Structures are given as structure tokens and as C-alpha cells.
Structure 1
Amino acid sequence: MKLSDFELDVMKFFWQQGECSAKQIHQWICQDKDVAYNTVKTIIDRLEEKQAIKRTGKQGRALVFEAAVTQESLTSSVLPNFIKRFFAGKTGNLITHLIEDDKLSAEDIEYLQQYLNEKKAKLDKK
């Protein structure tokens, strides 16, 4: 499933909040950027068409939706294309970029070292 950046922004609210109406999504998005309600409603309609969200009922006259896909399932389909487009398809290039741009905290580095050690141990057992 391919989603635009704005569609992904809207999906984040569904993943965080659960059931939401278009009005609620619009109110949350307007805290960060000036967007017309109709624009948000169009995005919600597209997400429903793509089966990323589904109707769950009504609050008064407003339709209520929830995510029909998990963030993890979408990440697994988006990440390979992202790495391919921006890092020549090499995960190592992404990791190098994160490290060189000082985006990792000491806690992040500790976590990665532990994770890589576990991953290496699994490979060594094969």
C-alpha cells in the first residue's frame, strides 16, 4: 500500500488515538499546520478507499473511523522503498547516515550494539 506523506500523517493519529472522526483529525492536524477541513476529509476518504482505515460507527452525524492496518505492517512495506530510493538499497548506508548525523543518543548506540551482538550470535549458530 502506497501512502502520501500527508496520508501517513493522518494515519499516525489513527494509530495513536484509535477511533476518530474527520473533525477530530482536522483539529489535531491544525495544531501543527493550517489545513482546510475539506482537505482532511478528502485524505480520510482516500485512506478508506485504500482500505487503510475502516468505518466503525457514528458520533452524532459524524462518521468514525479506525486504522485497518497496523503501523508495523505499513512500515515493512514502506521502508524497503525508502532505503532503495535514498540509500541505494543498502541498509548500511542508512545506518551510517544516522550515525554520522549524530542522530543517535548513547542509549541508542547501546541498544544497537546489544541488538547487533544478538543478531551476530544467531548468524554464528547457523
Structure 2
Amino acid sequence: MKLSEFELDVMQFFWDEGSSSAPAIHKWVSEDKKVAYNTVKTIIDRLEKKGAIHRDRLVGRSIMYSANIKKEDISKRLIPDLVRRFFHGNTSHLMAHLINSDKLTEEDILDLEKFIAERKNEAQK
């Protein structure tokens, strides 16, 4: 399933907040960018047509929608494509980019070292 950047933004709301209505999503999206309610509703309709969300229930006159897909399922598809497109398929280049461009805290570095050590142990088994 291919999702546009805007569709991914709306999906992020569902993943963070759970079930929601189109007016609530419009309010949330409008905090960052000027967008008409009809535009948000069109995105919601597209997501429903693609099977990414479904109509959950009615609350008063508002239709509540919920995610059908998990964030992890989408990221598993997007990250390999990102690595292929921007880093010529080389995961270590992506990791170097993230480490060099992001301000890592000492805790972040310790977490990464722990993760790498665990991966090394798994690979040796």
C-alpha cells in the first residue's frame, strides 16, 4: 500500500490517538498547516478506500475512524525503499547519516551500543 506524505501524517494521528473523527483530525492538521476541512476529508476517504482505516462507530453525528494497519507494517515497507533511493541500498550509510545529523544524547548512544552488542551476539549464534 502506497501512502502520500499527507496520508502518512493523518495515519500518524490514528497511530498516536486511536479512533477519531474527520473534524478532530482537521483540527490537529490545521495546527501545522492551513488546510481546508474538505481536503482532510478527501484524505480520510482515500485512506478508507485503500483499506488503511475503517469506520469504527458513530458518536452523535460524527463518524469515528480507526486504523487498519500498524505503523510497524508501513515502516517495514518504507525504510527499505528509503535506503534504496537515498543511500544506494547501503544501510550503514543511513546509520551514519542519522548519527551525524542528529544530536544524540548519551542515553541514545548507550542504547545504540546495547542494540549493536545484542545484534552481534545473535549473529554469532
TM-score w.r.t. length of structure 2? 0.95
SS where residue 54 of structure 2 aligns?
strand
| Letter aligned with residue 60 of structure 2 | G
Q: Which consecutive unaligned segments of at least 5 residues does structure 1 have?
A: none
Over aligned residues, Cα RMSD in angstroms? 1.0
What is the aligned partner in structure 2 of residue 107 from structure 1? 107
Contact 1:15 1:67 in 2 (8 A): yes
SS where residue 79 of structure 1 aligns?
helix
How far apart are residue 105 of structure 1 and its match? Answer: 2.0
Q: Distance in 1 between matches of 2:19 and 2:102?
A: 37
SS where residue 3 of structure 2 aligns?
coil
Q: Distance in 1 between matches of 2:61 and 2:110?
A: 51
Distance 1:103 1:89, change over 3 A: farther
Q: Which consecutive unaligned segments of at least 5 residues does structure 2 have?
A: none
What is the aligned partner in structure 2 of residue 64 from structure 1? 64
Q: Distance in 2 between matches of 1:44 and 1:61?
A: 17
Q: Distance in 1 between matches of 2:6 and 2:73?
A: 18
What is the aligned partner in structure 2 of residue 117 from structure 1? 117
Residues 29-68 of structure 1 correspond to what in structure 2 (within 5 A)?
29-68=29-68
Contact 1:98 1:104 in 2 (8 A): no
% same residue: 50
TM-score w.r.t. length of structure 1? 0.94
| Letter aligned with residue 13 of structure 2 | F
Residues 69-88 of structure 1 correspond to what in structure 2 (within 5 A)?
69-88=69-88
